[in-house]
Structures are given as C-alpha cells and as structure tokens.
C-alpha cells in the first residue's frame, strides 16, 4: 500500500490553517497548541486531512518521546469533535493530555467528513463519491493514515 502525504506547517501558515480549518484552528488557539494539517491519499483515491498536534504554543510541551498515537473519531463526528466538546466545557481533552505527556498525537478524519471531502477524481457532488461503507474506512483510511504517520515519523 502506498500513502502520500504533505504537511502545511501551523506556525508559518497560520492564516491558511485558520481559513481552511476554522473549527480545528479555533479549538487549538483556545487551548494554546500548535498544529499542522496533513493531506493523506488513500489507495482508493480519497484525500483525508489528518491533524498533527505539535505542542503548546508557549514551547512548554516536553518532547514527544512516548511514541505516536492516531486518534480516530466515531460515527457522525470528525477529528475536531472530541476536542471541541472538551474545549466548550473548558476542560483539556485526552488528546491534548497525551501531547502534554510526551506522545506524538495525530487526529484523523474519515472520508465524507468536513475535513475529508476531497478525492483525486470525484467531487462531493458526484453520487459515486458517497458510495463507500464503514468497511472502506477501515480498509483504506486507517492504513493510509498509519502509513503517512510512519513515513513522517520514521
């Protein structure tokens, strides 16, 4: 399986990230974390956005030495949903607690969600775009994300 990825750095491209991912950017800003958006292409040509949490904006986060963690949302959600719920309660999500504890945290968003409406040849307006099931998410989205994270982290 081949996964391709490219990153948009949060610090140097904050305006791009804010405009492209307003909900995620708002949560990260309110919680004080830097991040980047990674585009991941699946073997069946969907293009996903996976968020990589880089650490606290004030530099107080310890180095990520505990390994990488991919956190994937559930039904009727996207990668921002859990973070947003905790931020609305003025609490720190477990994803950000993992970052603080030294984990390299990545947050996935499956095909068909707000952050993953891209495809190499199809538009979300094409009925064929939506002809997928939960099985394809497990067969293609998760392995592509894992491969992209391995490629990025070595």
CATH number for position 23? 3.40.50.1820
% of the chain exceeding 70 in pLDDT: 79
Residue 37 contacts residue 21 (beta carbons within 8 Å): yes
Residue 42 contacts residue 111 (beta carbons within 8 Å): yes
* Distance from C-alpha of 60 to C-alpha of 37, rounded to nearest angstrom: 21
Q: C-alpha distances in angstroms, 68 versus 102, 126, 140?
A: 9, 35, 19
State which residues form the domain around 76: 4-153
Domains: count for the chain: 1
Mean per-residue pLDDT over the chain, rounded:
81
- pLDDT for 142 equals 93
Tell me the pTM.
Answer: 0.81
| 73-86 residue pLDDT tens | 777 677 777 776 66
* Distance from C-alpha of 32 to C-alpha of 104, rounded to nearest angstrom: 16
More confident residue, 16 or 117: 117
């Amino acid at each position: 399986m081949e996964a391709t990825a490219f990153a948009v750095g949060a610090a140097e491209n904050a305006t791009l990230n804010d405009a492209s991912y307003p909900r995620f950017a708002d949560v990260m800003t309110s919680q004080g974390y830097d991040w980047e958006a990674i585009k991941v292409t699946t073997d069946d040509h969907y293009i996903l956005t996976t968020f990589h949490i880089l650490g606290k904006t004030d530099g107080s986060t310890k180095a990520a030495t505990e390994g990488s963690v991919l956190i994937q949302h559930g039904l009727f959600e996207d990668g921002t949903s859990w973070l947003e719920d905790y931020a609305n309660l003025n609490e720190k999500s477990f994803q950000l607690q993992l970052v603080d504890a030294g984990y390299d945290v990545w947050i996935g968003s499956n095909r068909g969600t707000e952050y993953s409406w891209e495809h190499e040849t199809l538009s979300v307006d094409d009925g064929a775009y939506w002809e997928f099931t939960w099985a394809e998410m497990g067969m293609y989205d998760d392995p592509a994300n894992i491969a992209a994270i391995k490629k990025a982290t070595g």
